[in-house]
Amino acid sequence: MADQADQAGPVVGTPYGAVRGRYEDGIAVFRGIPYAAPPFGPRRFRPPVPPEPWEGVRDAAAFGPTSPKPPYSEAFARILSDPVVPGDDCLNLNVWTPEPGPGARLPVMVWIHGGALTRGSSAVPVYDGRAFARDGVVMVSVNYRLGVEGYGLFPDAPANPGLRDQFAALEWVRDSITAFGGDPDRVTVFGQSAGAISIGALLAAPRTAGLIHRAVLQSGPPEAADRDKVRRMVRRMAARLKIPATAEAFAAVDRDLLLRTQAEVSKLSSPVLGGPAFGIVVDGDLVPRDPLEALTEGGAAPDADLLLGWTSEEYRLWLVPGGLLERINRLGPVAVAGAMARCHCGPEIPRGYRALSPDVATAEIVGQMVTDHLLRIPLHRLADARAASSYLYEFAWPSNVPGLGACHALELGFVFDTGDVPESARLAGEGAPRELADAMHAAWVRFAVDGDPGWPAWDASHPVRVFGADGPPVERGPRDRELALWDAESVNPLTPAEPRPAPPLRPGPSTRRTAPLSAVRRFRRSGGAGRP
């Protein structure tokens, strides 16, 4: 229906009715298109259902409502943008296309945002899709349910409604994207943090066969959350609200009160030291088994090309804004014991990290150790299992904002080529390098077009494309020494040229008397916990 475009903007048909977008810098943009009905009233905590068809042409000029979510703390709100658009019709998506109409058959990229499954939306300005459309890709970004609405675990409701929303959005792409100029047989799903974790689960889900052809996992591995940790979040909320821990009881609670309660309970968890948290769980239906096992051992999504990576200092986003970095350094051995509990490891692991980096502070040891355990090891494992079709990268450019370094989420403005928007500068600072955005964005486009981002596929030499460092563009095994510490077969990760012995991490009196789990609790009581 693109030929029906008039001066107000292009008109395209969807299975539920026509939508009118806008031309912006020569790109056709459609915002706030519903892919499912509002998930409230009798549909609250239930799987998504199709939207009601509409008559005439629906205006698609503005972003649709965002899912209910608590605000970031003041420290994180200074560097992370998270717009709120009020309204119930929050299961919506946006499309940027250079050529609306069924004849183009361009590659498609579907963006799933991060935010710990509790925050974020497709309306974040950094996620603007015009640069992808400028370079010949139809880009789609998706809203989905968050927090207890999307990932609460109840005895009287199906699990993972937020992930089911994402699945419904992918079905919408399959059924609708041709009319916007896209090719439903060339769909790349890309996401960061919780978005990447979501993609891992979607890739592993048998029901998504044929919906995903390539995938980009940025700073998030395929994983399933411990069901008991998710239940504990729900139970703690129920205890504060003085209601049963059931979907029926939660559905009767005022939405704002539910968000305030969720925010209070979430203070007991930390990305570094764990604790109860919302997450995707094995549900026997959409997620029949652990996603990492399904992808590495079960043959799930065998033909999907993968682009996998991380930032050099992921942990700095979690530790710097709220002053947690300084508290970890102050607590020293107690924080190390907490990290050992988080990683389920003995003291030989932090000792090995100290031997490799004898001059860094305790917080960096803890941060890199937890990052490797939670992120880099599973992504290496995934690449090892699918070497011929996997490409790995590391983002190493340090932010111009003091203390943030090459932190979690910093790469996003470079991937989207949106470094000129003020929200990107919050995290990157002023003067981010233009050539780095050119290189990174072009690699993502190339991957969507033909599955090759421009450097060697994973093999026994472990090639990693490093963006923003001073060394060669491709390094071989840049994290191998650290990751070898986790291998029971590896006795000494140091090379012959570096024969330093591993100095002991001398615990203070408190850790001699206290188990690591108690150290975690003491660390949280000290003010070291809390999600952004």
Residues assigned a catalytic role: 193, 314, 408
- The DSSP-derived string for 187-244 is EEEEEETHHHHHHHHHHH-GGGTTT-SEEEEES-------HHHHHHHHHHHHHHHTS-
Which amino acid is present at 94? Answer: N
Q: What is the rounded CA–CA span in Å between residue 50 and residue 273?
A: 39
B/e letters for 478-501, b = 16+ CB within 10 Å, e = fewer, are: bbebbbbbbeeeeeebeeeeeeee
Which amino acid is present at 210? Answer: G
Under DSSP, the state recorded for 376 is: I
Q: What is the rounded CA–CA span in Å between residue 151 and residue 262?
A: 12
Under DSSP, the state recorded for 470 is: S
Q: At which residue do the structure tokens 């298109």 appear?
A: 33
The closest alpha carbon to 467, from 320, 309, 316, belongs to 309
Instruction: Tell how strand 22-24 and strand 57-59 pair up.
Output: unpaired
Give just the sign of the alpha carbon dihedral 114, 120, 123, 128. Answer: negative
The closest alpha carbon to 190, from 202, 205, 178, 207, belongs to 202
Q: Rounded to 5 degrees, what are φ and ψ at 218?
A: -100, 110
The answer to whether residues 320 and 404 touch, using CB atoms and an 8 Å cutoff, is yes
- The DSSP-derived string for 37-96 is ----GGGTTS---PPPP-SSEEE--S--PPPP-PPPPHHHHTT-------SS---EEEEE
CA of residue 239 relative to chain centroid, distance: 30
Q: At which residue do the structure tokens 């988080």 appear?
A: 342
Give just the sign of the alpha carbon dihedral 259, 260, 261, 264. Answer: positive
Which amino acid is present at 344? Answer: H
Q: At which residue do the structure tokens 């690591």 appear?
A: 516
The closest alpha carbon to 291, from 277, 306, 276, belongs to 306
Strand order through the sheet with 27-34: 22-24, 27-34, 92-97, 138-142, 106-112, 182-192, 214-218, 305-311, 390-395, 463-467, 474-476
The answer to whether residues 204 and 300 touch, using CB atoms and an 8 Å cutoff, is yes
Q: What is the rounded CA–CA span in Å between residue 77 and residue 288?
A: 37
